[in-house]
Amino acid sequence: MSIMDLEAILHPRSVAVVGASTNTASWGYSYIHHLIEYGFRGNIYPVHPNYTEVLGIKAYPSIRSIPDTVDFVISCVNAREVPQMVRECGEKGVKGIHLYTARFSETGHKDAADMEQEILRLARSKGIRIIGPNCMGVYHPKVGLSFGYNLPKEPGFLGMSSQTGGGASGFVLLAGLRGVRFSKVISYGNALDFNECDYLDYFVQDDETKVIVQYIEGVKDGRRYFETLKRATAVKPVIVIKGGRGKSGARMTSSHTASLAGSFSAWEAAIKQAGAVSARDFDELIDLAVSFYFLPPLRGNRVGVFAGGGGPSVIAAESCEEAGLEVIPLPQDMRDEMKARGVSIWDWVGNPVDSSIIGGSGMTDMDMMHLMAKHPDFDLLIATINDWVMMTLSTDERFRLSVPAGAQAYLSVKERYTKPFLVAVGERGVTAEQYDDFHWKALAEARSILLKGGLPIYPTIERAARAARKVIDYYKKL
Amino acid sequence: MSIMDLEAILHPRSVAVVGASTNTASWGYSYIHHLIEYGFRGNIYPVHPNYTEVLGIKAYPSIRSIPDTVDFVISCVNAREVPQMVRECGEKGVKGIHLYTARFSETGHKDAADMEQEILRLARSKGIRIIGPNCMGVYHPKVGLSFGYNLPKEPGFLGMSSQTGGGASGFVLLAGLRGVRFSKVISYGNALDFNECDYLDYFVQDDETKVIVQYIEGVKDGRRYFETLKRATAVKPVIVIKGGRGKSGARMTSSHTASLAGSFSAWEAAIKQAGAVSARDFDELIDLAVSFYFLPPLRGNRVGVFAGGGGPSVIAAESCEEAGLEVIPLPQDMRDEMKARGVSIWDWVGNPVDSSIIGGSGMTDMDMMHLMAKHPDFDLLIATINDWVMMTLSTDERFRLSVPAGAQAYLSVKERYTKPFLVAVGERGVTAEQYDDFHWKALAEARSILLKGGLPIYPTIERAARAARKVIDYYKKL
């Protein structure tokens, strides 16, 4: 029932933005901007008593005065104006309201919390469902709903519900840079009506969603949540990030979304017990999203590592081991094959592969990678575009040619074998003076090649390894 | 004695590159290129029987045929040619040889290891000292020696010795992007003559070096090393990264630099006991280098956190706690001051500071930061340029104005107070299609502003916090 309500709200034929504004710094402006920018094809109704139009669209003084049905309302008015607005929505047959409006229970003030409850009662009496309050609402690129600038316009299959708004939009942006695209993302703040269980149930049955992410600060009903989660993880991977696990976080979540945080260790044990995947911070959340989005199921932990030269290979391989992967020695039959081919270093080269000793051996790095990709002893491969070393050891001209060529060569490994393959491409923070240097542009080009080919990319081998381990654990538990 | 020898080698009046080449892919080309490019002011002598000049500089058929004294020789010839070259160096009064030449003991072959020992005996008999073999040698920007392309030309005060060559040059590049500059970096591979203790002793007494980094795969004499390290850490911070701590690494270090790796846990306990700082991977190594390079001594762990909006603040603050920092509640006298100033959220806002509730409160984020910077209860501050959230929540125009302005405002905090201040600026891997987007350029501009002002920057608050904790531990132990 809940789920059907949510499905209807997510596919509105018309949207009114109450508290619409021509002030570009306001949310009453942004939501209308986004409806236009992301291509919403239904009717858009800006609502404000003082404007006749906003962003070129005719405005109305009130919900009541709109000469048409309204399915979905985005509220940017002050808290005290919400009850009257809900009444008008009731008259108009509105199905759902997203309350961007804040300053309710999260303030810790009793009168604000009481008003929040009053709004819920009012909405229920009119058959209206609520997303929020104190949240950014819906990013649903397929129908043209968005809560942020600069987010991907193409849809994909990751669904997310989130008690943080800024974190949700930031996550969409950053996971988007790494190729992830989204079915629906819902920021729901104080969870007055729909809560974490409703959103989870929705994403489980949603055919457009294959991977689920939840940012949670507190759950309303722990037992129900973990039962819902257990059912969900049997169907689709669910990645959970928990705010409010420490002292400062517990103080803060109450003022952020009025959530009561529990003990983190108990929480994390329960999350794992339910088969979900736990992320510690947003970097790890992005790595996990990328992994579940792009990788086939990982069935084992024996990894082949290509990290460039000696020292970086040593450190990267050891980080893989510390993440719980097994950096196995080269299988004897691979050595035999190299020996038969006349490769001089057949008894010296190992796993991790030190590419600095391969030159002149009668074999290239890529020959080695193909041998490992087809060998059944390796469950997965992790390789890097070793820009930080190459940039210092190659002439500029060699770098310019070899970086995109390297990306292309990695793609051919993906296309030729079924071996799960993770690629590390460093994220480099450069200064204004260095921004136009061709090296960084060549790396951007390599990233484009890898992403277009559907390869998951990570900033470092270490992070790829830690994510891979959690993916392996998920499939092992299934 | 060792130290004096090294000091002399690092300040040569003339350098010969044996195995010089016009092939741009060869090291016999690169080293000559670097001597010119980095501004070496002494004589340069390319040596090769087949060339009359290399890169416009007159070449000689042999060391013997150079009509002048030669202080320092860079050897790019094959291993079997080294003994004869050492003999000629002896005749010529050469002080030091850097053997880029490899394929000695690291191959695991007895004849190669024997030849390595024979070279050492020969060199000792002639009074010649050796850096290497199987290494990249010296980066000493002040005198114009370099082992890589695209490295900083200005000197600084971080000194490094490293058994990995690629890792060393890559580290100089990446730490360089974050503002670190170097006194001397020496890649020494198999450590045939000078070893980790010699380099450490050298950097301890070197007035140009204030922070020391060592990448180590194996130590020749554990007791001597830890005694040397203990003396060193009493004088300057020493950051150590250890290759060969796991199974794969132990296999690999023997083939990389012929080192025998010990148990990592025993190693790490000894490192800490000696007062040194241990880094797990290159990312952490860079964070630690940045921290010791730019921060004043950190004397306590009570941190004020500015991470932007609600969710990101919660997660960042909890990561700070997990790193061992204390995210203390706002001191009561700060609340009293805010109340007296008429700030509406004086009893609601907390630490971490949720900037999404500050607007319209009668106070700005920066007012809050100044209050915390001058308050004695905070030992350090960590703040972020919250690009990933701002880019989605602000209009492009606001982003364009606020990002560099934010960096400038952070600088004013650094200039006005003595409070240690760490800033997180995300490193974003963008694709070719996005490369010219102004958002990323604006961030590069912010980075330039922060670095010019001498602020340490980190990719995330989490990484800043983990580095800060290790700096605090170092000063506590002193």
Q: What is the pLDDT of residues A197-226, one digit of tens each?
A: 999 999 999 999 999 999 999 888 889 999
Domains along chain B with CATH numbers:
2-131 (3.40.50.720), 137-294 (3.40.50.261), 303-477 (3.40.50.261)
Write out residues 42-101 of B within 8 Å (CB-CB) of A: none
Least confident of B72-81, B220-229, B333-342: B220-229
Backbone angles phi, psi at B66, to 5 degrees: -75, 125
- A321 pLDDT exceeds 60? yes
Res. B259 pLDDT band, cuts 50 70 90: low
CA atoms within 13 A on the CB side of B436: 2
Structure tokens belonging to residue A276 = 């979900």
Which residues 6+ apart lie within 8 Å of A79 measured at CB? Answer: A101, A102, A103, A104, A112, A115, A133
Of A108, A255, A329, the CB nearest to B251: A329
- A259 pLDDT exceeds 80? no
- Structure confidence by residue, pLDDT tens digits, A284-311: 999 999 999 999 999 999 999 999 888 8
Mean pLDDT of A368-397: 95
Mean pLDDT of B272-296: 96
Q: Which parts of B96-195 fold into alpha helices (H)?
A: 110-126, 165-177
Predicted local distance difference test score (pLDDT) of residue A433: 94
Give me the torsion for CA of A399, A403, A406, A408, rounded to 10°.
Answer: -140
Per DSSP, what are the bridge partners of residue B58? B53
pTM recorded for the entire structure: 0.95
Of B164, B282, B393, the CB nearest to A148: B393
Predicted local distance difference test score (pLDDT) of residue B264: 67
User: Above 0.85 for ipTM, yes or no?
Assistant: yes
- A1 pLDDT exceeds 90? no
pLDDT above 70 as % of chain A:
97
A444 touches chain B (CB under 8 A): yes
> For residue A47, how far is the Cα from the chain centroid?
32
- Structure confidence by residue, pLDDT tens digits, B404-432: 999 999 999 999 999 999 999 999 999 99
Q: Specify the residue for token string 């969870």.
A: A191
Mean pLDDT of A428-435: 94
Res. B55 pLDDT band, cuts 50 70 90: very high
Predicted local distance difference test score (pLDDT) of residue A257: 72
Which residues 6+ apart lie within 8 Å of B162 measured at CB? Answer: A311, B168, B171, B185, B186, B187, B188, B213, B214, B215
Distance spanning both ends of chain A, measured CA to CA: 28
- B188 pLDDT exceeds 60? yes
Least confident of A4-13, A268-277, A453-462, B50-59: A268-277
- Structure confidence by residue, pLDDT tens digits, A127-140: 999 999 999 999 99
Total residues belonging to chain B:
478
Beta carbons of B247 and A460 less than 8 Å apart: no
Res. B256 pLDDT band, cuts 50 70 90: confident
- Contacts of residues B436-442 at CB distance under 8 Å and 24 or more positions apart, as own/partner, are B438/B396, B438/B400, B439/A150, B439/B387, B439/B391, B439/B396, B439/B399, B440/A435, B441/A432, B441/A435, B442/B399, B442/B400, B442/B403, B442/B404
Query: Which residue is closest to A26 within chain B, CA to CA?
Result: B394
Predicted local distance difference test score (pLDDT) of residue A103: 93
Q: SS3 of A376, please?
A: coil
Residue A262's identity, in one-letter code, is G
Q: SS3 of B285, please?
A: helix
Per DSSP, what are the bridge partners of residue B214? B161, B240
Beta carbons of B429 and A431 less than 8 Å apart: no
Res. A261 pLDDT band, cuts 50 70 90: low
- Structure confidence by residue, pLDDT tens digits, A188-199: 999 999 999 999
A168 touches chain B (CB under 8 A): yes
Predicted local distance difference test score (pLDDT) of residue B1: 54
Mean pLDDT of B28-51: 97
Mean pLDDT of B292-299: 96
Of A170, A241, A427, the CB nearest to B392: A170
Q: Specify the residue for token string 């003595």.
A: B418
Least confident of A12-26, A138-152, B343-357: B343-357
Asked whether B455 and B294 are in contact (CB, 8 A), the reply is yes
Write out residues 250-309 of A within 8 Å (CB-CB) of B: 251-253, 255-257, 280-283, 305, 308-309
Distance from CA of B91 to the nearest CA of A (A): 32
Mean pLDDT of A151-169: 97
What CA–CA distance (Å, rounded) separates A169 from A175? 10
Question: Which residues of A fall within a CB distance of 8 Å from B392?
Answer: 147-151, 166, 169-170, 172-173
What CA–CA distance (Å, rounded) separates A343 from A337? 9
Of A108, A178, A393, the CB nearest to B148: A393
Mean pLDDT of A105-125: 95
Res. B360 pLDDT band, cuts 50 70 90: confident
> By C-alpha distance, which of A401, A331, A459, A312 is closest to A409?
A401
